[in-house]
Amino acid sequence: MKVTVVGAGNVGATCADVLAYREIANEVVLVDIKEGVAEGKALDIWQKAPINLYDTRTIGSTNDYEKTAGSDVIVITSGLPRKPGMTRDDLISTNAGIVKSVTENVVKHSPDAIIIIVSNPLDVMTYQAHLTSKFPRTKVIGMAGILDTARYRAFLAEELNVSPKDIQAVLMGGHGDTMVPLPRYTTVGGIPVTELIDEDKLDAIIERTKFGGGELVKLMGTSAWYAPGSAAAQMVEAIVRDQKRVFPVCIKLDGEYGINDCYLGVPVILGKNGVEKVIELDLNADEKALLETSRKHVLEVMSVLDKNA
């Protein structure tokens, strides 16, 4: 299997590294616009292979998309990250242009690939890539839900002093402050989380999760990469190994949850065909209201992209 990662910055290089050392693909091509950066990082990852014992071939390219030809999966991480004081939506004008031109280049050389978007604002960049590629909606999807859910699970594991491995959860909606955590679908080793934690503590964890990206931007002056890069690699793994994993993934909704033409995170089954099924949960009135707020927010940002098109 061949995987291309566009953007050899913090998230892209981390994703390529995870794909290599976990041998998720046979070949990983890392592309960046900055001269030599992708080649250098790909070479560094390759030189780690004899130490960490893997044989995934990593290749770097400065804007030469010939090298990406025939990729099975493409991960797009190119674009600006936010700085303290910015929202993800502030990145739209710069990143929409980058995602559009990168998508044009990758689809030319890999017409059958599945595209995973990471660049922000995530839901709207997924829209951009879908518009540009004209691929089916099930093959142009965004990574955010795995990351947001991981943050929620990590905070819960810390609070309950249990292994993060035993926490299962679902988060829905846009990748932003309006994301929709679902305590009703959160379990700890099969036990509903609400039986193990006070309501006010759970509410505080949900609030922290919603602003989890911003917390890291404030600490580091730029956004996170270890968890995001690993989350994108986990989506690639589900596809190339046809694992049928159940993950929250951003996709254009086509009637599911009574929503049309909006890109939102929802639980799906992910396998060799991309999104193989959107899972429709029976949301209660409060959960539906939160999802509606999230939908309205994403639609507003989508309309900025439409105006600038």
Ligand X SMILES: O=C(O)C[C@H](O)C(=O)O
Ligand Y SMILES: NC(=O)c1ccc[n+]([C@@H]2O[C@H](COP(=O)([O-])OP(=O)(O)OC[C@H]3O[C@@H](n4cnc5c(N)ncnc54)[C@H](O)[C@@H]3O)[C@@H](O)[C@H]2O)c1
Give the residues lining the site for ligand X (CB under 6 A). Answer: 82, 88, 120, 147, 175, 213-214, 216-217, 223-224, 228
For residue 176, the partner it binds in ligand X, ligand Y, none, with Cβ less than 5 to 8 A by kind, is: none
Catalytic residue among 109, 130, 175, 297: 175
225 lies in the site for ligand Y, by CB under 6 A: yes
- Order of strands, sheet of 2-6, starting from the edge strand that comes earlier in the sequence: 57-62, 27-32, 2-6, 73-76, 114-117, 140-142, 245-254, 260-271, 274-278
Extract the tokens encoding 128: 């951009």
Strands 180-181 and 171-172: antiparallel
Among the listed ranges 9-17, 203-211, 235-243, 258-266, the one in contact with ligand Y (CB under 6 A) is 9-17
Distance from C-alpha of 298 to C-alpha of 126, rounded to nearest angstrom: 11
Q: Residue 21 Cβ, how far from ligand Y at the closest point, in Å?
A: 18
Q: Are 295 and 262 in contact (CB under 8 A)?
A: yes
Cα 167 to Cα 227: distance, rounded to the nearest angstrom:
16
**Residue 209 within binding range of ligand Y, rule CB under 6 A:** no
Tell me if 217 is assigned to a ligand binding site: no
Q: Is residue 80 a contact residue for ligand Y (CB under 6 A)?
A: yes
CA distance 292 to 180: 10
Tokens 């919603």 found at: 210
Maximum CA pair distance of the chain? 55
Q: From the CB of 91, what's the least distance to ligand Y, in Å?
A: 6
> Of the candidates 143, 172, 262, 283, which one interacts with ligand Y according to CB under 6 A?
143
Is 175 among the residues known to form the active site? yes
Is 284 annotated as contributing to ligand binding? no
Going by the annotation, the residues of the binding site for NAD(+) are 7-12, 32, 95, 118-120
Residues identified as active-site: 175
The footprint of ligand Y (CB under 6 A) covers 6-12, 31-34, 37, 77-82, 91, 95, 98, 101-102, 118-120, 122, 143-144, 147, 175, 222-225, 228
